[in-house]
Amino acid sequence: MPVTPAIDKLQSILDYSENFLSKMHELGQAPHSRKSLQRLFSPSEAADMVGRDRTTLARAEEELKVDPPVRNPDNNRRIGYSLEQIQAFREHFGTLPWRDSATDRPMVIACQNFKGGVGKSTTCINFAHYLALKGYRVLVIDTDSQATTTSMFGYVPDEDIRQEDTILGYLDGSHSTLQPVIRKTYFPNVDLVPACLALYEAEIALVIHIAEQSSLEARREVFAELGYGIQSVADNYDVVLLDSPPALGVISLNVLLAADALLVPTAAKMFDFSSTVQFFRMIRNYVAQLAPDKSYRWISVLTTLFDQRYDSQRQFVDVMRACFGESAFQRVFFHAAEVINASAQFVGPYEQVKPNRKVLEMMDSVFGEIETAILREWPSKREALHGKGII
């Protein structure tokens, strides 16, 4: 039998697989030419989200010149409000959850673990959606060359995104701020710095750039560049989420030094636990070398992909809590087919037109605990937390 050259075989694989990905992106965008948030929120849901009753919202529609919610043509009942409308109500009634710029610093959180397949990007994407639904202003920075997060926000990496559209547009000195590479997304309240495969290739260029520096201090500055870029735009946001590469490199170390807090997704399995321990060991060593005075507001492990059908995983959660102590969130992210299936179609659980309420309750519980960890760091929120008996 004739042997197919490797280049031809790889091209054939790419043709089929890229065609499939293109069709899946189209499915996630249908019926529009670009992705949009199709989920609507019932008057009751909207009232809970805004903090006012349904009657008050209805009265405010005319005053705010907000379009009334979509109605069911069969029975003329109100179907629901869009997130943009809900945000307008929040602004009108003064119920936006934004930090107080006079006292509260933006929170920069890295979703980071050098172990792949632990739900890092899934956590980052869905937490961004959760925060946006709550009304926070969110910037997501995708620094992973696999660009899963970028794909979930409706883009086809390496087709829609060029190298200069990523953090490299700032890191290579083309821009003095991250602002030119930030783009609005279809999801209200969420902005994005996208990623593409070029980020992987850029690692080599960054290593060469570091080697060219004449002093230790100059080399250290290269690892701090992303942090400077984030500082240049952070005042526009409440939370900045960093989706980092699942490997140790110049970019991932930039993420590590730019973050105020580390959110470390970890599966309840021995190999993943061992990898996370190694991750902590490596970041301790590298932080000691690159930024010995670096501090984090918190470092917390989030148990992901938890399948309660297995005794071994239930037992291992206890082991992780015993080892990590206060550095582990109590809530766990359950393994859910709906989350996996939604990601495969580039549509997250929070944006589905008819979401699975049980899955949303689970995710709300997980992300609510992380949200509280953020609020604890904002002085303007302490009185409210104290009133709830949280602090």
Q: Residue 111: what residue type?
A: C
Greater confidence (261 vs 118) lies with 261
Q: What is the mean pLDDT of residues 341-349?
A: 77
Query: What gap in Å lies between CA 253 and CA 222, rounded to an integer?
Result: 10
With bands split at pLDDT 50, 70 and 90, how would you rate the model's confidence at 41? Answer: very high
Task: Of 63-67, 103-107, 163-167, 343-347, give the range with the top mean pLDDT.
Answer: 103-107
pLDDT, tens digit, for every residue of 192-233? 999 998 888 777 878 888 888 888 888 888 889 999 999 999
Domains of the chain are: 43-93 (no CATH), 107-387 (3.40.50.300)
Query: What gap in Å lies between CA 121 and CA 111, rounded to an integer?
Result: 8
Greater confidence (128 vs 26) lies with 128
Please name the residues in contact with 214: beta carbons below 8 A apart, sequence gap of 6 or more: none
User: Collapsing DSSP states into helix, strand and coil, what is residue 33?
Assistant: coil
pTM assigned to the model:
0.89
Q: What is the pLDDT of residue 117?
A: 82
Looking up tokens 């080892």 gives 323
Nearest-5° angle of CA 358, CA 359, CA 362?
90
Q: What is the pLDDT of residue 33?
A: 54
Q: What is the mean pLDDT of residues 375-390?
A: 91
User: To the nearest whole percent, how much of the chain has pLDDT over 70?
Assistant: 90
With bands split at pLDDT 50, 70 and 90, how would you rate the model's confidence at 3? Answer: low
Q: 333 and 303 in contact (C-beta within 8 Å)?
A: yes
Q: What is the pLDDT of residue 157?
A: 87
Q: What is the pLDDT of residue 214?
A: 84
Looking up tokens 């109605």 gives 71
With bands split at pLDDT 50, 70 and 90, how would you rate the model's confidence at 14? Answer: low
Please name the residues in contact with 195: beta carbons below 8 A apart, sequence gap of 6 or more: 142, 143, 144, 145, 146, 147, 149, 150, 157, 161, 166, 167, 243
Task: Of 300-314, 323-337, 355-369, give the range with the top mean pLDDT.
Answer: 355-369
Q: How many residues does the chain have?
A: 391
Q: What is the pLDDT of residue 31?
A: 45
With bands split at pLDDT 50, 70 and 90, how would you rate the model's confidence at 346? Answer: confident
Query: What gap in Å lies between CA 218 and CA 195, rounded to an integer?
Result: 26
DSSP for 59-121, please give it: HHHHHHTPPPPEE-TTT--EEEB-HHHHHHHHHHHT------TTT-PPEEEEE--SSSSSSHH
Backbone angles phi, psi at 41, to 5 degrees: -120, 125
pLDDT, tens digit, for every residue of 256-271? 999 999 999 998 888 8
Backbone angles phi, psi at 57, to 5 degrees: -65, -45
Q: How many CA atoms lie less than 13 Å away from 220 in the CB half-sphere?
A: 12
Q: Pairing between strand 239-243 and 70-71?
A: unpaired
Looking up tokens 């200069």 gives 164
pLDDT, tens digit, for every residue of 54-89? 999 988 988 888 777 777 777 777 788 999 999 999
| Other residues' Cβ atoms within 10 Å of the Cβ of residue 307 | 14
Q: What is the mean pLDDT of residues 317-337?
A: 87
DSSP alpha helix (H) spans, the chain: 6-29, 43-50, 54-64, 83-93, 120-134, 148-152, 168-171, 198-211, 216-231, 250-258, 270-290, 311-324, 337-344, 357-375, 382-387
Cis peptide before 31 (omega within 30 of 0): yes
Q: How many CA atoms lie less than 13 Å away from 74 in the CB half-sphere?
A: 1
Stretch among 69-73, 231-235, 253-257, 325-329 having the lowest mean pLDDT: 69-73
Q: 195 and 161 in contact (C-beta within 8 Å)?
A: yes
CA 303 remoteness from chain centre: 16
Q: Is the pLDDT of residue 289 over 70?
A: yes
Q: Is the pLDDT of residue 8 over 80?
A: no
Q: What is the pLDDT of residue 32?
A: 47
Tell me the three-class secondary structure of 174-189, residue by residue. CCCCCHHHCEECCCCC
From the list 334, 149, 176, the residue with the least C-alpha distance to 242 is 149
Q: What is the pLDDT of residue 344?
A: 67
With bands split at pLDDT 50, 70 and 90, how would you rate the model's confidence at 325? Answer: confident
Query: What gap in Å lies between CA 119 and CA 113, rounded to an integer?
Result: 10
Q: Is the pLDDT of residue 26 over 80?
A: no
Query: What gap in Å lies between CA 272 and CA 118, rounded to an integer?
Result: 8
Query: Please, what is the end-to-end C-alpha distance for the chain in angstroms?
Result: 72
pLDDT, tens digit, for every residue of 352-382? 989 999 999 999 999 999 999 999 999 999 9
Query: What gap in Å lies between CA 68 and CA 52, rounded to an integer?
Result: 16
